Amino acid sequence: MRCPKCGTENSPGRTLCVRCSTRLRTAAGVGAAVPDTGEVLMPRLRADLLRLVVVTAVVVAAAAALGTLLR
């Protein structure tokens, strides 16, 4: 596991760099990072879903309006 700060190669089990004591990415760190990305990702997904619903509703409404106008 390479230190992101000083580039020193540390053994995989280490949580801190042997040279500069920078916190290294560990299995626990990766596990902790997953809920973070999930929390960031979920509202984005929800916004995308909402946008899709709105666009679909607008298209359906426009098609319905066109159908009514052409009839």
Binding site for Zn ion (CB under 5 A): 3, 5-6, 8, 17, 19-20, 22
Q: How far is the CB of 14 from Zn ion (least distance, A)?
A: 10
Instruction: Tell me the HSE value of 40 on the side-chain side, using a 13 A CA sphere.
Output: 4
Q: How far is the CB of 12 from Zn ion (least distance, A)?
A: 15
Q: Which is nearer to Zn ion, 6 or 65 (CB)?
A: 6
Q: Which is nearer to Zn ion, 20 or 59 (CB)?
A: 20
Q: How far is the CB of 31 from Zn ion (least distance, A)?
A: 22
Q: Which is nearer to Zn ion, 21 or 56 (CB)?
A: 21
String of DSSP letters for the chain: -B-TTT--B--TT-SB-TTT-PBPP-HHHHHHHHHHHHHHHHHHHHHHHHHHHHHHHHHHHHHHHHHHHH-
**Amino acid of residue 27:** A
